[in-house]
Structure 1
Amino acid sequence: MIKAVLFDKDGVLMDSEAEYERRRQIFFSERGIDASGFPDFYGSNNDVIWRTVEPNDAERRARLAVEFVERFKDEPMIYADYVYPAVRSTLEALRARGILTALASSSPRKFIDRFLDETGLTELFDYTVSGEECENHKPAPDVYLRAMEALGVHPDEVLVVEDSPLGIAAGRAAGAFVLAPSVPSAPGVDQSEADARIVDISGVLNYLDR
């Protein structure tokens, strides 16, 4: 019987990955960085991204990360504009059925908190955890294992909702059943390792009795 549902943020609760990629490409172009050999950064955390961009010079890597934030400081994402329509109703339905919920994201804590504050979803999550609060990032299972421990549930009592290959791998490594919602802005994302695919996150309501 499912007792908890754990959600990723980007690509699951909000359609933000395409906007992140647009901003990265603008920044790379303005800095003269050849991105042609970079892997697909979909679902990657900032540490992985900047280590890929600058694998050798730690000082330059840190500087680029700061410059990226500075470049877009006057163009903050309005998170409420990117939230999927089914998010609030799904979270409310889970709460009504006594299902625990957690937000487990690779995003820095400050962005998780801002997302929850701007969207008014704070009260609909029983627990939140950031990848920066864990030893290992996705695809390691750390964020999901920490959420399970905090909620007092076992992996076989949990659904994980993830969109990216890295996140799906993390959920599977944590021992949970992983659902992958479609991503309209990235229809080609590889979700083949998920246990099941759903149209949007409201689909989790069909898996609570498994």
Structure 2
Amino acid sequence: MKAFIYDMDGVICDTEPVHIEAEQRVLKKLGITVPLEALYDYQGSSDLNLWTDLAAKHHLSQEPEALVKAKAYLFNRLMHEQGVTPIKGVLSLIKRTDALRAEGLRTAIASSSSLDFIEFVTASLGIRDYFDTLQSGAELPQSKPDPAIYLKTAAVLQVAPADCVVIEDTENGARAAKAAGMYCIGFRSPHSGDQNLSMTDWIVSDMAEVVEKISCKFPEGLV
């Protein structure tokens, strides 16, 4: 392992419920009911993917980009009101991977969220300096499950995809990591819904499991 890459929402910070709340508020204003499970299917992907599909399915007059902005406004307001809550145990993992940087490990965040929001989260949690780069997929042509964000992150880190380990909490994110040719740890995040993580290499429900096993030789010796 030469690089450890974190997804953010649902892995570093517990923002998935806030995303859902903001989406439901926009949908309520539109007079549309969408099953919660359907919203979970888009977690890990971009807001534009979600609202493009919903606009087409429900024949909405609003442009998807306008719906993205409406949701983003509500989401940002809720996040500033509620503050950033880290996923249990993740700060210990971040400190562990940061310590491994002395052995040459590279670290990154690769998220579908905007770069502004990634910077807001890392500043709020005091962890910005623990990463070599912060990468947003929001401006890329294709979002997760497309591997573009992970391939870009590997290129920035100057590490071959096969030497990267990713931790993801959603099916879309896990598929992106595997399509990029990376080792993927599937994290069963408490608020990410019933995500299919069967394509991942190792599934955990507690960050402490990863802290215990992680080293520059990972996944060698993993039982």
Aligned CA distance change for structure 1 residues 202 and 157 (closer, same or farther; 3 Å): farther
Counterpart AA for 2:70: E
1:52-108 deviations in whole A, cap 9, x for unaligned? Answer: 121266853233333334445543346754211322221221121222110000111
Alignment of 1:115-194 (within 5 A): 115-186=121-192, 188-194=194-200
Cα distance change of structure 1 residues 199 and 72 upon mapping to structure 2, 3 Å threshold: closer
Number of matched residues?
209
Structure 1 distance, partners of 2:192, 2:153, is: 27
Find the residue that maps to 2:43 and give its secondary structure.
coil
| Structure 1 residue corresponding to 2:90, chosen from 61, 83, 87 | 87
Say which is worse superposed, 98-107 or 36-45, in terms of deviation. Answer: 36-45
Cα distance 1:79–1:88, how it changes in 2: closer, same or farther (>3 A)? farther
Contact map agreement 1:104 1:128 (CA 8 A) in 2: yes
Distance in 2 separating the partners of 1:30 and 1:59: 12
Q: CA deviation at 1:114?
A: 1.1
Task: Please state whether the residue corresponding to 1:150 is helix, strand or coil.
Answer: helix
- Structure 2: which 5+ runs fail to align? none
- Which deviates more, 103-112 or 184-193? 184-193
Instruction: Percent identity, please.
Output: 26
C-alpha distance in structure 1 between counterparts of 2:76 and 2:91, whole Å: 28
Query: TM-score with structure 1 length normalisation?
Result: 0.87
Q: Considering only aligned residues, what root-mean-square deviation do their CA atoms show, in Å?
A: 2.4
1:38-77, aligned counterparts within 5 Å?
A: 38=38, 40-55=41-56, 59-71=62-74, 74-77=77-80
- Provide TM-score, normalisation by structure 2: 0.83
Query: Higher mean Cα deviation, 86-95 or 65-74?
Result: 65-74
**Secondary structure, counterpart of 2:166 in structure 1:** strand
Shift of the alpha carbon at 1:144? 1.0
Output the CA distance in 2 between the equivalents of 1:15 and 1:73.
14
1:143–1:78 distance in 2 versus 1, CA, 3 Å? farther
Structure 1 runs (4+) greater than 6 angstroms displaced? none
More divergent stretch after superposition (117-126 vs 193-202): 193-202
Unaligned runs of 5+ in 1: none
Q: Match for residue 25 of structure 2? A: 26
Q: 2:122–2:128: 8 Å Cα contact kept in structure 1?
A: yes
In the alignment, is residue 110 of structure 1 matched against residue 113 of structure 2?
no
